[in-house]
Chain A
Amino acid sequence: MAESHSTTYGLAHHFDDIEQQREAGTLGMWAFLITEILFFGGMFLAYILYRAKFGDAFAAASAHLDWRLGGANTAVLIISSLTMALAVYYAQVGDRKKLMLFLVLTMILGATFLGVKAYEYYHKYLDHLIPGFGFQWSGHGAPKQVEMFYFIYFAMTGIHALHMIVGLGIMTVILIMAKRGRFTPGYHSPVEISGLYWHFVDIVWIFLFPLLYLLGAHLHQ
């Protein structure tokens, strides 16, 4: 045992074998993601409660968001999840060049998402829709209730965008490790576990998009 231990690349001394190490890493990431599910869950709960109370105002406020930008960003994130999954695939088969290519593509798509988000935030600023900072609303629905929608909108998309920024940082580290040839078909857990985080952030957006952008879409008719 001790001999194979010292020769297995990437195996930390406190694990029996690479498989046990991989399993422990995966479970550790999922334990973290559970706390993330409940962290975002609290905000989704706030959304549900206020939407139940201020239904009409929430629909009117949602109709003001541009679902085409939200939809485009949804597509961007889903494509980035595909490129992330393919990056993991190329790590598994040991193709370092393609692993790096798909990590870079994932990061470009993540940055694109943040760019569109920044554009949207800027227009909310121009339209005086930042809660607490001279918020103005002349459309349908009580202004105070619409302000609550925008408060939840900025809180949820803001925290989500923060997760994207953290994700870009993680991918930068993984890219540098990949460039230095640190991953082999036998050892690439960092790529896979970082991928779990990236996909989780995608899932949060999968729920945010219909709840925030599409809630009032039928009002456009």
Chain B
Amino acid sequence: MSEHVVSKKTYYLIFGALMVLTAVTVWVANLDLGRWNAIVALSIAVLKATLVVLYFMHVRYSSKLTWVFVCAGIIWLFILFAFTLSDYLTRGWVPIAAE
């Protein structure tokens, strides 16, 4: 497997998409959508990050083992968030007898 050279055109397209998404996230943030503001902002950020990882960081053209490494990082990040939030955000749901 030899190295894949990503074309300049691909880089320019991804760059354009990133700039458009930045403009969209600024525009949406100025509307008051309640809790949807955060959801839209994070969705756009995740989309932008995915484009950077896949194309600028060449993961789309990398080996399966590289994919495993990248996914492992994201999975551990989710474990960090999920376990911590499942504690903090559920405190007070169940009354504690000792109090």
| Chain B binds chain A | yes
State how many residues of chain B have any CB contact under 8 Å with chain A. 50
Q: Mark interface residues in A49-61 (1 if CB within 8 Å of B CB, else 0).
A: 1001000000000
Decide yes or no whether A11 CB sits under 8 A from chain B: no
CB pair A52–B29 under 8 Å, yes or no, is no
B2 nearest CB neighbor, chain A only: A19
Q: Is the CB of A82 within 8 A of B81?
A: no
Any chain A CB within 8 A of the CB of B96?
no
* Interface set, chain A 47-76, CB cutoff 8 A to B: 48-49, 52, 67, 71, 74-75
Contact with A along B10-29 (1 / 0, CB 8 A): 01100100110010011001
Q: Is A170 an interface residue (CB 8 A)?
A: no
Give the docked Cα–Cα distance between A37 and B31 (Å).
30
- Which residues of A sit under 8 angstroms from B53, Cβ to Cβ? 199, 203
CB of A203 within 8 A of CB of B52, answer: yes
Does more than half of chain A's interface fall in helix, strand or loop, or is it mixed? helix
Question: Please, how many angstroms separate the alpha-carbon atoms of A82 and B2 in the complex?
Answer: 23
Contacting pair B85 A48 (CB below 8 A): yes
Chain A positions within 8 Å of B81 at CB level? 41, 45, 48
Q: Which 6 A-B pairs have the closest CB atoms?
A: A214-B29, A34-B73, A210-B41, A217-B29, A218-B32, A30-B69
18 pairs across A/B with beta carbons < 8 Å? Answer: A26-B62, A30-B70, A38-B77, A41-B77, A41-B81, A52-B88, A67-B29, A71-B22, A81-B56, A84-B56, A86-B8, A199-B53, A200-B57, A202-B56, A203-B52, A210-B41, A214-B26, A217-B29
Residue numbers of B with Cβ under 8 A of A are 1-3, 5-6, 8, 11-12, 15, 18-19, 22, 25-26, 29-33, 37-38, 41-42, 44-45, 48-49, 52-53, 55-58, 62-63, 65-66, 69-70, 72-74, 76-77, 80-81, 84-85, 88-89
A interface residues (Cβ-Cβ under 8 A, vs B)? 19, 22-23, 26-27, 30-31, 33-34, 37-38, 41-42, 45, 48-49, 52, 67, 71, 74-75, 78-79, 81-82, 84-86, 89, 92-93, 192, 195-196, 199-200, 202-203, 206-207, 209-211, 214-215, 217-218, 220-221
